[in-house]
Structure 1
Amino acid sequence: MAMLNWPQEEAPQPAVDEHVRVTALSKRYPGQQVDALHQVTLQIERGTIFGIIGRSGAGKSSLIRCLNRLEEPTAGSVVIDGVDIGSLTESELVNWRRSSGMIFQHFNLLSAKTVRENIELPMRVAGVPKAQRRQKADELLALVGLTEKATAWPAQLSGGQKQRVGIARALVHDPRLLLCDEATSALDPETTRSVLALLREINRQKGITIVLITHEMAVIHDLCHQVAVLDKGEVVEQGPVWQVYGDPQHETTRQLLNPGRETVALPGRLTAQPLSGQSRPLISLGYSGGGALPQLAKLSALLGDELTLVESTLEWIQGRQIGRLVLLGKTDSSPFRVEKIPAQLADRVEVLGYVTAN
């Protein structure tokens, strides 16, 4: 099997406006012999939507709860806006938490209070005057599209509406950081899309840094700017979403994101070498956001009139072409040379084998 990886030029990196820095963070629960989190290091830029993905038990919930000290780390540090939150006293931590909000998976609404009263509750606890609470709650109800539900009870709401109330409640203190703990996992796909659109709009309007954990690939794809992959409590890969999707380096990432690397099933026989002029090369063209574009007219000119499209998993992520094309080239008795495909037409070229018709 022949493969060609085209070299990538490193783009200059702009100065980073750091919002959250996690350094060598570890967490071991009492009675356990293995760390739930081990030496986790992350840097999160201000105003970004940062996703943390992993299988169940990977340590996602432990990590996000360490970001506001709902869990106490065993070792390491979390610095947010220049403040090491591990150094805060209990009273200082209560005040600091008002600069962050958290959205939970199961909504946690009080059934005996109306929608508006649920949103007002954190402000009431903080001693905000009634008129100010009412005004803020109504502003947030408008933001999340629930103005007409202000006096409804939680039992009268759909799952998506309950989560919108949870989002509004998390925003009452105008947080600079919003943490989302599997915020869409209890919702159906259509409702999930609407909640993700709301979070994206909140990020755009208010510039709030959003950190979310999920096991859903579509959430990372549709919402996030950056992603970290957790496996057994460790960060195994991180970077811009387009980069991690386009060229995953770790096996866990490949299994989670599944970026079009399935075995191609074809009628006929796949061989490692061409068989006496009766074989067509099966060619995989990979696109990892490096700038190459699948220009079919030029590929046809290079690969011949017999060119056949077998599979396409191409999509645009953050303005970059990601995925692959699998093509059958023309019948030939000679092995296909991957260097025939120039760098502007594919980031990676691989010959999967040769197909001989029955």
Structure 2
Amino acid sequence: MTLLHAFVRDEFAKMKQLVIPVKIVPVQFEEIGKTWNTTVQVPAETWNIAFAEAERRFEEVQPDVYYELDTQAKIALEVRYAHAVEEAKVEKLRRVVSMCAEFDVSDLPAAGIGSVDFERLLSDPARWKWLLNGRIAWETTRLKEELRWKNSSWRLKARPISIPNVLTKAAVKLKKAESRLPWARLQLAKLKAEKTDPTESMHWLGAQDKVDRVAVACAALGFAPTALSDFFNQSLEGKNVWAVGHHPYSWQVVLFMKFGIGYKQFSGHTAADWMLIAMPDRTEMENGSKSTNGFTRTAAALQIYFLNLEVQGMLDSDKTQPLENRTFKPRFSRTSELREFLAVTVQ
């Protein structure tokens, strides 16, 4: 071990906080019959270190520096001087830590560097390499799914669900939404008095936070958020429903406020276009990619939700059409009809 390697290792072991900069990582994978070479971006990592030890000995492996973070995570750090960490060691590290980074000092003099130079080098992304980071695998999987999505036709994988698969209610958020009902009623009255057009209303809704949107929807539909029906709190089945990967209370009742009352026909496509603007913080995972039959992931997720609501008695459609092609229309022309239905429906 050189003086340089020992100095850098010991400096890392003294740290109470370590920031690893953003890294662009090359990845290669096989998908749809081709080899793809691309990159993924790994966000900056900040490690708040509760415990550190140089050369901690485990049964199979001894990392240069071992950390335990304030989050209880177990982390390793390797200092590269003579050669990179071998894959066999990485596999052994995988069994004892959740994340491992390598810091490269191979181009520096063996006699060592000073603390000031060391601090300056820490912010250089080129010196860092991720040996273990779940984000890389996650992003690579996302890239594979993206390729499959754009090169295939979206089809429903299961029949619509007649009884909602209900998630645990977000009781604290719904109670907060209930406290905002007076504000919500005032805002709805103001929008009506000012004859705000649908586009302006859509943008106004998009500027509100998720809890206030729920308050607005419940005020418009005429029921309390704490009594939110299971129809507006149901999980969805399907591989790509993560496009709307937030708790259902925060978007389903808002969506129904817009499309579930009245006479106008709609589909997952039209609802997705509206949702991107009216609930941008619920659709931030959407990147606009379309399947070969024209579905974004958000549109597919909403089509699934609407098909569920149809078999649950909340919407109507032309049932002669394939499930993926169906357009829907409200079953209720007035909010009072919705409330009557909910009052007699066993959930």
The answer to which structure has the higher strand fraction is 1
The answer to which structure has the higher helix fraction is 2
Normalising by structure 1, we get a TM-score of: 0.29
Bigger radius of gyration among the two: 2
Normalising by structure 2, we get a TM-score of: 0.30
